[in-house]
């Protein structure tokens, strides 16, 4: 087909996806590869996860764990997840009826929205949000109510957090609220929700009989002892109304394996499994065996992971600060969030395009993750889930090619 013919073809994309563009993460990686840029845009490690987990996957394949498994996931993994959940939260969940293995956190989110939310329901999202949430709300026929996460005021201390306004949150809850999505630690800002913030959310969920959907994929990537990760399900009022979601990718550096899970009381699990059955039925069997080995080793492995990531975070934050960025606190995730205004670009896309094409370092322009786009225009997100030499090369290029006011 010629380009002219293509231009006259009606768009085939269904209406429910018409308002969503192509993934900014994939687009920035494409640009980074095209321009030979150091890719600090898309959040994936440029190194492999631990050998013992890879070996466990290969062993499972060799041992013949290669056919469909149960819809809920293989028992060694659902039991490992239930045990880890109990150790971390003090709550016992039944592995056969309250733990579900999914294709990454992405499919866990899809199953939760499609299995538990009805057309006409309202879902509360914080702004900015990971790009999948509004897409799943749309697929479920729900209306989104947005609560802005505001950056700290200019001149606030370096560790000042992004916050939300209590009045905004209270106003977002209505008699149609079905769910609120809490992503902690939060992509893209790096925010870790505090106990007081979660307690306020819990009280409103209880009052409005709403559920909490929690995206905790960065749960093991926190760096500030004053702001540990708190699973929202441990907050009084949320224990029996939370669908807790997470995945293997960030903690164990295997983002391509797409092993995730949902832990929720039985009645909520029934809903999400109803969707999971028809979305995917069951997840890659040998990788689940490897995930079970990973989860069983998580507590021993975590200090090493945190120490390595803390060093990379500190290195990148210090470099960006030296270069003249206003750098926000990074208590969690593997992203440094920064204000690029000192460099004089009109918006995040122009800034990140310049960085990728001319400075040869790719960063993520986050305005597509905002409902109120204007709030994202002065921001850029830098991923530090990269080898130290990659970060060093990125910083060397930034120092050589980027000047305040350029």
Rule CB under 6 A: which residues touch ligand PMP? Answer: 43, 104-106, 130, 183, 187, 215, 217, 247, 249, 255, 258, 260
Task: Take residue 312 and report the two structure tokens written for it.
Answer: 């990379």
**In the complex, what is the shortest distance from the CB of residue 105 to ligand PMP, in angstroms, rounded to a whole number?**
4
Task: Say how far apart CA 28 and CA 249 lie, in whole Å.
Answer: 20
Token reading at 5: 């013919």
Binding range to ligand GLN, per CB under 6 A, among 18-26, 74-82, 83-91, 279-287 = 18-26
d(CA 54, CA 43): 20
List the interface residues with ligand GLN, window 41-80 (CB under 6 A): 42-43
Tell which one of 100, 129, 184, 187 touches ligand GLN (CB under 6 A).
187
249 binds, among ligand GLN, ligand PMP, none (CB under 5 to 8 A by kind): ligand PMP
390 binding ligand GLN? (CB under 6 A): no
- For 104-226, strand residue ranges (E) read 122-127, 143-148, 177-183, 211-215
Strands 326-327 and 335-339, bridge-based pairing: antiparallel
Q: In this complex, which beta carbon is closest to ligand GLN, that of residue 23 or of residue 163? A: 23
Closest by CA to 190, choosing from 323, 320, 36, is 320
- Measured from the CB atom, is 260 or 365 closer to ligand PMP? 260
The residue behind tokens 């409902």 is 371
Q: Which stretch, 11-19, 22-30, 156-164, 315-323, contacts ligand GLN (CB under 6 A)? A: 22-30
Shortest Å, Cβ 362 to ligand GLN: 11
Q: How far is the CB of 301 from ligand GLN (least distance, A)?
A: 21
**Residue 78 interface partner, choices ligand GLN, ligand PMP, none, CB cut-off 5-8 Å depending on type:** none
23 contact choice in ligand PMP, ligand GLN, none (CB below 5 to 8 Å, kind-dependent): ligand GLN
Cα distance between residue 226 and residue 218, in whole Å: 17
23 binds ligand GLN (CB under 6 A): yes
Of the candidates 171, 170, 172, 198, the one whose C-alpha atom is nearest the C-alpha of residue 183 is 198
Reduced 3-state DSSP string for 266-323: HHHHHHHHHHHHHHCCCCCHHHHHHHHHHHHHHHHHHHHHHHHHHHHHHHHHHHHHHH
Cβ 138 to ligand GLN, closest distance in Å?
17
Least separation in angstroms between residue 166's CB and ligand GLN is 28
User: Are 95 and 79 within 8 A, CB to CB?
Assistant: yes
The rounded distance, in Å, linking the Cα atoms of 39 and 382 is 9
The listed partner (ligand PMP, ligand GLN, none) that binds 42, CB under 5 to 8 Å by sort, is ligand GLN
E-strand ranges in 38-190 read: 38-39, 99-103, 122-127, 143-148, 177-183
Nearer to ligand PMP, 295 or 402 (CB): 295
Q: Which DSSP symbol is given to 284?
A: -
* Residue (78 or 187) nearer to ligand GLN, CB: 187
Q: Which is nearer to ligand PMP, 131 or 239 (CB)?
A: 131
The number of helix segments (H) and strand segments (E) in the chain equals: 14, 12
- Cβ proximity to ligand GLN, 91 vs 333, nearer residue: 333
Residues that bind ligand GLN (CB under 6 A): 23, 25-26, 42-43, 187
């Amino acid at each position: 087909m010629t380009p002219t013919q293509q231009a006259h073809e009606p768009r085939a994309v269904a209406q429910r996806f018409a308002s969503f563009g192509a993934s900014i993460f994939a687009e920035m990686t494409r640009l980074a590869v095209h321009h030979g840029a150091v890719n600090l845009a898309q959040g994936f490690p440029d190194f492999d996860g631990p050998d013992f987990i890879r070996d466990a996957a290969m062993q499972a394949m060799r041992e013949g764990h290669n056919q469909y498994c149960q819809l809920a996931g293989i028992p060694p993994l659902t039991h490992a997840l239930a045990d880890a959940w109990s150790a971390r939260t003090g709550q016992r969940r039944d592995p056969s009826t309250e733990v579900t293995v999914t294709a990454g956190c992405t499919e866990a989110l899809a199953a939760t929205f499609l299995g538990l939310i009805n057309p006409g329901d309202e879902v509360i999202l914080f702004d900015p949000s990971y790009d999948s949430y509004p897409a799943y709300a749309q697929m479920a026929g729900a209306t989104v109510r947005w609560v802005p996460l505001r950056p700290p005021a200019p001149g606030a201390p370096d560790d000042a957090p992004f916050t939300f306004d209590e009045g905004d949150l209270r106003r977002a809850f209505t008699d149609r609220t079905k769910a609120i999505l809490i992503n902690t630690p939060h992509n893209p800002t790096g925010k870790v929700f505090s106990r007081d913030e979660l307690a306020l959310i819990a009280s409103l969920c209880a009052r409005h009989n709403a559920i909490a959907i929690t995206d905790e994929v960065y749960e093991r990537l926190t760096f500030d002892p004053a702001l540990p990760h708190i699973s929202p399900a441990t907050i009084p009022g949320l224990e029996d109304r939370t669908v807790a979601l997470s995945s293997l990718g960030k903690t164990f550096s295997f983002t391509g394996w797409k092993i995730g899970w949902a832990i929720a009381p039985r009645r909520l699990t029934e809903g999400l499994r109803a969707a999971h059955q028809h979305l995917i039925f069951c997840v890659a069997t040998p990788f689940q065996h490897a995930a079970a080995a990973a989860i069983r080793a998580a507590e021993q492995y975590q200090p090493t992971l945190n120490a390595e990531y803390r060093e990379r975070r500190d290195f990148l934050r210090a470099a960006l600060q030296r270069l003249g960025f206003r750098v926000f606190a990074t208590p969690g995730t593997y992203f440094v969030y920064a204000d690029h205004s000192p460099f004089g670009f009109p918006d995040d896309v122009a800034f990140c395009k310049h960085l990728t094409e001319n400075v040869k370092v790719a960063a993520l322009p986050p305005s597509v993750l905002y409902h109120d786009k204007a709030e994202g225009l002065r921001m850029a997100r830098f991923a530090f889930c990269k080898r130290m030499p990659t970060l060093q090369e990125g910083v060397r290029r930034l120092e050589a090619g980027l000047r305040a006011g350029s």
